[in-house]
Amino acid sequence: MTMKMTGGQILLDGLVKEGVDTIFGILGGAILPLYDTLPQFPQLHHVLVRHEQCAAHAAEGYARATGKVGVCFATSGPGATNLVTGIANAHLDSSPIVAITGQVARRFIGKDAFQEIDITGITLPITKHNYLVRDAASLAKILKEAFYIARTGRPGPVLVDVPKDVFNEQVEYHSPGKIDLTSYKTPLKGHPAQIQKAAALINGAQRPLIIAGRGVIISEASLELKELAERAQIPVVTTLLGLGSFPESHVLSYRWLGMHGMAYANMAVNTADLIIAIGMRFDDRATSEVNTFAPNASIIHIDIDPAEIGKNVRVDVPIVGDAKAVLTPLNKLVQPAQRMGWLQQLDEWRREHPSTDIRDSASVLPQYAIHQTYEATNGEATIVTGVGQNQMWAAQYYLYNRPNSFISSGGLGTMGFGLPASVGVKMGRPDLTVWCIDGDGSFQMTLHELATIVQEKLAIKIAIMNNGYLGMVRQWQELFHGKRYVATPLWGPDYVKLAEAYGIPGVRVRRREEVIPAIQQAMAYDGPFLIDFGIEPEENVYPIVPPGASLSEYLEIPEKEVAWQR
């Protein structure tokens, strides 16, 4: 039996069938008919954000915290273009979101009508796929395909652009059948011969090293990764977005590598005779100068996206497949081993170059504030960050022992990501303790989402590392541009009064002894809370690998001076 439904009803019914319960968005003229249909679907909760970019960031935060597809709505024209940064962020960080945009009525397309924009053309390079819906009869099938594409293989964003009159068009509804996209195949199982080659290299290696990326988290392969590491006694480092894929408190964890990673992790890469890269794309922030990356090592690369294999770094054994599906048979072929000499060497480097020591200071150090947040939360909070120095300090001074406990913008490096993404995280996982660690520059880009936090009654704790600068750029100006601070000094409002204006309590911290009480006060409060940490204005992030240098050449900060370490 068939029934007649409008395009709006078909779309919202399709969302319900896909398991969607939360939507982030802002309405406008072209998408108004869809919003007018929302009351018919009480299963769907709409979160009214204050800017469309934040709708996409919130959808991504929701997706990363829940493992489901995040959904955002925007109207045509500027509403759709405001989504672009958020879509690009999800694209580079492999996060599954479906963006639904309203479009001008079909008869106006191509006529430069009011608020018309070719959003499918604009987003073509930053989506896995996108659609311009031509009629309501095709909408159910398109929506089902969109979700299938977004969540399968290497996840990513899909955009569905719907003309206003399609929302109102009434057609006979037919439930879409099984998805069969002949041109879209997602390899899952790695080639058995390649897996055997990988096992042989692992069994014969003296100094193997695992580099785990976000792909391990996406494929839910953390247990398989742990089994491989423990069985063969292989040390593990992660990428920035791989934080939490392997417990950082584990004896085999050497934390994370790269531009601001641990010195001993970078030294391990430089000395290893075998790199086992799992679900990572050899981003330049992880590898630094690729010509000098892992000079003594053979490389095994496991990734579900064949386009990433050999793109940046030469690979000896490529394995295209899902990390979990590849590690399961690989673990059966890997022989138990003891590599005490290799592990002792890494432990010695860790003692010599601790990377995350915190010096004594009467003033507020961001490292100390974040470490005390770790202590107060027993390491069990989900940390959502902005981008810049705050992001690096949050990655360095909080230990991550479970997947998706560190949620940040990696590939695009989007300032302003933290606050709206924390909205999505808390909406998707209200059971989690969520801390948004932000910088004053990043926070000012999306601070209007404080209104969304209050409207949705979200108990998000916000810690602003307030140094009065665009801190990371200022650090580069100090170290590499003769300390010429051009356009980096940053005025900001009184953040405590600002929070109070939104109905959020806050506290100002300017001395070391105030740090712990402020964090405890935030934790004890049943609702959103803001802490303005007035940190050292010219505090830097160390270690740092200078641009153009290899991972083995990094700046670290001793007691008296900054010195090259080679």
How many other CB atoms sit within 10 Å of the CB of residue 464? Answer: 29
Going by their DSSP bridges, the two strands 158-163 and 563-565 should be labelled as unpaired
Structure tokens at 532: 């303005």
Among 226, 209, 150, CA closest to 402: 226
DSSP 56: H
> In Å, how far are 49, 215, 486 from 456, measured between CA atoms?
10, 31, 39
> 143-148 long-range contacts, Cβ below 8 Å, gap at least 24?
143/10, 143/11, 143/14, 143/15, 143/18, 143/98, 144/14, 144/17, 144/18, 144/176, 144/179, 145/179, 145/181, 146/98, 147/18, 147/69, 147/98, 148/179, 148/181
Q: Which secondary structure element, helix H or strand E, spans residue 70, and what is its range? A: strand 70-74
Residue type, 311: K
Residue type, 352: E
What is the set of active-site residues?
52, 114-115, 164, 472
Contact 269, 211 (CB under 8 A): yes
How many other CB atoms sit within 10 Å of the CB of residue 508? Answer: 16
DSSP alpha helices (H): ranges in 462-542? 471-480, 495-501, 515-524
